[in-house]
Amino acid sequence: MTSGNNVRVVAAGDHFVLPSLIADAVGREAGEQPVNVRELKLGWPLDPFGPVAEVQEASDAEDEMIEALAGAQVLVTQMGPVTERVLAACPDLRLVVVCRGGPVNVNLDAAKQRDVRVCFAPGRNAAATAEFTLGLMLAALRRIPQAHDLLARQGSWAGAAYYTYEHSGLELEDLPVGLVGYGAVGSRVARVLCAFGARVLVYDPYVHGEIHGLRVNSLEELLRGSHVITLHARLTDETRGLIGARELALLPHGAVVVNVARGPLLDEVALCDALESGQVSAAALDTYVHEPLPEGSRLRALAERVVLTPHLGGASRAVAEKAARIAAEEVGRWVRGEPLAHCLT
């Protein structure tokens, strides 16, 4: 951009990453550069996301986006659908910044064809997801939700049964916990687990250098040696279904499985079989193969052995604020003519 040009920005936020958060962050980052920000509020998460035309995980709001983007050069959004239709209708658009770890709601090929740069906000929810992972892990190990349900909802003191040796929970100190993946989230989880005194095992063939815990050479070695496994790998063609019946059978009997990464990393049918047989004693899940979790899911019938949350790992105010700030920094770089930090096209 040339200094002095009045840049028109659309802040297409939602009920989580508020348009006002984006607008304020862009204003701070732009400094003395002339920037005109228009706010648009989309319906997520009160309205669910889904596929929109050829993009995924977006709000069904193509018409609203096209109207708001008239004459705009920059779009900052989390769930706005940046489809071929939207791009074709907005010829002035030059930069799209998505306030999330991957721009799945953007048609990257169409953006590249129209010379539209596409950026994203990596790491915005790493701390929140790591904390949530530990929360779910502790809830599953110590059966906190089940005890709460007995006392608060049913008015029963029968939770005392959890104080018997056979039904009492596990503590993290000295417990072997295996991490599948050691990226921004996994590395944070490892540090906290070490502080708890857990024996941390790590399998990640793509990460080198120093780690918190003991690096193992294969997934099989990690599974055989871990009483708890927690998944932190990216979802790719290679990792889809990474943990299935064969892998679960390698775990010590009565192991615990935690997944706050991506649902399709884990074969849910195999997990349910393992829970029913006792091979896996408990599971804590925040993500699923199909979201929302279908009413007929076998997981719902296993409430005594599972902790289920509706994809809330990244739901913290700090995540929304970080996402807006990281996105605004990219807008500031573009306005000043500086190299973009997290650009895909």
What are the tens digits of pLDDT across the range 240-295? 999 999 999 999 999 999 999 999 999 999 999 999 999 999 999 999 999 999 99
- With 90 as the cut, is the pLDDT of residue 162 above it? no
For residue 45, cis peptide bond before it (omega within 30 degrees of 0):
yes
pTM metric for this prediction:
0.91
- With 60 as the cut, is the pLDDT of residue 4 above it? no
β-strand partners of 74: 9, 95
Domain boundaries of the chain, sorted by first residue: 7-122+316-336, 126-308
Query: Using CA atoms, how far apart are residues 159 and 14, in angstroms rounded to an integer?
Result: 41
Q: Of 2 and 106, which is predicted with more confidence? A: 106
- Catalytic hit among 227, 262, 325, 342: 262
Q: Comparing 7-122+316-336 with 126-308, is the CATH topology the same?
A: yes
β-strand partners of 199: 176
**How high is the pLDDT of residue 2?**
43
**How high is the pLDDT of residue 163?**
85
Using pLDDT thresholds of 50, 70 and 90, give the confidence band for residue 189. very high
Contact 326, 333 (CB under 8 A): no
Q: Helix or strand or coil: residue 191?
A: helix
pLDDT tens by residue, 304-328: 999 999 999 999 999 999 999 999 9
**How high is the pLDDT of residue 247?**
98
What's the gap between Cα 335 and its chain centre? 29
Known catalytic membership, residue 311: yes
Give the CATH superfamily of 126-308: NAD(P)-binding Rossmann-like Domain (3.40.50.720)
Give the CATH superfamily of 7-122+316-336: NAD(P)-binding Rossmann-like Domain (3.40.50.720)
What's the gap between Cα 40 and its chain centre? 24
List, in order, residues 6 or more apart from 173 with CB less than 8 Å away: 196, 197, 198
- Catalytic hit among 39, 221, 291, 321: 291
Known catalytic membership, residue 291: yes
Other Cβ atoms less than 10 A from the Cβ of 72: the count is 20
- Catalytic hit among 142, 191, 311, 321: 311
Token code pair at residue 31: 């400094």
**How high is the pLDDT of residue 153?**
87
pLDDT tens by residue, 65-84: 999 999 999 999 999 999 99
Query: Using CA atoms, how far apart are residues 271 and 282, in angstroms rounded to an integer?
Result: 10
pLDDT over 70, % of the chain: 99
